Chains A and B, each alone.
Chain A
Amino acid sequence: EVVLTQSPGTLSLSPGERATLSCRASQSVRSRYLAWFQQKPGQAPRLLIYAASNRAADISDRFSGSGSGTDFTLTISRLEPEDFAVYYCQQYGSYPFTFGPGTKVEIK
């Protein structure tokens, strides 16, 4: 099983700042099949990035993904008020699919 670790656990930033979220895998993620999700309280997760660096439909270009192998990054270039949420990475390159524990981006 591919275990995903996310850091930091919580990121305290101000609107307009840049956010850098890390996701590390216990073994190489096959074919860069890694996704990022955003989740707000009481809502279902929303797909932001798939295959490590591809933005999903209707996702702002403020969100970008990068990485390969075991190290992946989600960058939010300039935080907007609606971006404060919890972010999860997920690998779907091998079964069982697994999620990271999440990074909470909170307003400083």
Chain B
Amino acid sequence: EVQLVESGGGLVKPGGSLRLSCAASGFNFNDAWMTWVRQAPGKGLEWVGRIKSESGRRKSEADGATIEYAASVKGRFTISRDDSKNTLYLQMNSLKTEDTAVYYCSTAPITIYGVVIKKGFDYWGQGTLVTVSS
């Protein structure tokens, strides 16, 4: 059974930092491209970013950079992964009140030369709440 379990959320002051984790099991994490999506309280979904697998990183640049970010978080958030631990991370720095949201991890579509060979967003974690407030 596929499982994604986020952790690390909590209350942080504006300007502070937080690192979220997403522990994956039940599928081949090493080959998976992964993504973060967030949802502010009472609002819609917002894509945060995507990271390729190590093998995907070595393939075509036509499929985007190794890590892609939404403009709203670029330069402040960093997505990384530890394949030895089957874990995805989201390092969040210089946090703003508007970063308050539930953060979800999910699988991302895998593309080769622009063609989606494996759909994404079919597995999601339960989310972890990040509250940025003074």
Chain A residues with CB under 8 Å of chain B are 1, 30-31, 33, 35, 37, 39, 44-47, 50-51, 54, 56-57, 88, 90, 92, 95-102
Contact = CB atoms under 8 A, between A and B. Distances in A.
Counting from the closest, the 10 A-B pairs by CB-CB distance are A44-B124, A97-B47, A99-B45, A50-B119, A95-B68, A47-B122, A102-B44, A96-B70, A101-B44, A47-B121
B71 A92 contact: no
Interface in B113-134: 114-116, 119-122, 124-127
B120 A92 contact: yes
A45 B119 contact: no
A26 to B, nearest CB: 15
Contacts of B127: 44
A56 B104 CA distance: 19
B56 interface: no
A3 B67 CA distance: 21
A4 to B, nearest CB: 10
Contacts of B122: 47, 50, 56-57
B47 A99 contact: yes
Contacts of B81: none
Nearest to B121: A47
B52 interface: no
Given A44-B127, A56-B122, A33 B116 contact: yes
B45 A37 contact: yes
B14 interface: no
Q: Which of B35, B71, B109, B127 has the most chain A CB within a 10 Å cutoff?
A: B109
A47 B120 CA distance: 9
Contacts of A95: 50, 64, 68
5 contacts: A33-B116, A37-B121, A50-B119, A51-B119, A56-B122
A97 B126 contact: no
B54 interface: no
Contact of A96 (B44, B71, B120): B71
A97 B45 contact: no
Contacts of A51: 116, 119
